[in-house]
């Protein structure tokens, strides 16, 4: 029997934990943005799915916990039908949605999965305005 996914609403900066936030839908509901910090990766397959409920007017940042973890994968980002796909680089460890060109409009969604020690896999869709730009950066390392 399948059970519905639990949702947890956060309204600012939050340190995500595997005990409280893994395998749930984390609903970010704060126009002022904030930072969601992932736990250190250990390859256990736990996932964090984040959806932006309220368009951010400042930045919503999703960051790894330490200088060794990185993000692999990519997201689609679009202001219209065409859109583009952005891939994380080899050292990227941060996703920044600015409420404009790098996503963060209501409905933007990312899923991060701890697939191997030191590595988070990202998939998702970011709704944006203006000319799409990469949300990925190497900020922590």
CATH ID of 7-131, from 3.30.1490, 2.60.40, 2.60.120, 3.10.310: 2.60.120
Q: Is the pLDDT of residue 141 over 90?
A: no
Q: Is the pLDDT of residue 1 over 80?
A: no
Q: Which of 129, 130, 131, 111 is nearest to 121 (CA)?
A: 111
Q: Is the pLDDT of residue 129 over 80?
A: yes
In the sheet with 136-137, reading across from the earlier edge strand, the strands are 14-15, 34-37, 60-63, 94-97, 136-137
- For the chain, give every domain's residue range: 7-131
Cα separation, 55 vs 107, in Å, equals 8
Summarize pLDDT for 69-127 with one digit per residue, the tens.
999 999 999 987 788 999 999 999 999 999 999 999 999 999 999 999 999 999 999 99
| Mean pLDDT estimate for the chain | 95
pTM for the structure as a whole? 0.95
**Collapsed DSSP state (helix, strand, coil) of residue 16:** coil
Cα separation, 74 vs 59, in Å, equals 19
Q: Is the pLDDT of residue 46 over 70?
A: yes
């Amino acid at each position: 029997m399948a059970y519905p996914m639990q949702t947890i609403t956060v309204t600012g900066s939050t340190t995500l934990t595997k005990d409280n936030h893994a395998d749930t839908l984390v609903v970010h509901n704060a126009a002022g943005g904030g930072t969601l910090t992932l736990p250190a990766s250990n390859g256990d397959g736990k996932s964090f799915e984040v959806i932006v409920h309220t368009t951010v007017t400042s930045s919503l940042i999703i960051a790894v916990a330490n200088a060794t973890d990185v993000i692999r994968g990519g997201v689609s980002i679009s202001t219209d039908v065409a859109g583009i796909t952005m891939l994380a680089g080899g050292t990227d460890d941060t996703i920044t949605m600015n409420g404009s060109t790098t996503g963060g409009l209501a409905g933007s969604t990312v899923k991060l999965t701890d697939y191997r020690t030191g590595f988070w896999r990202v998939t998702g869709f970011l709704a944006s305005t203006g000319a799409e730009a990469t949300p990925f950066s190497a900020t922590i390392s």
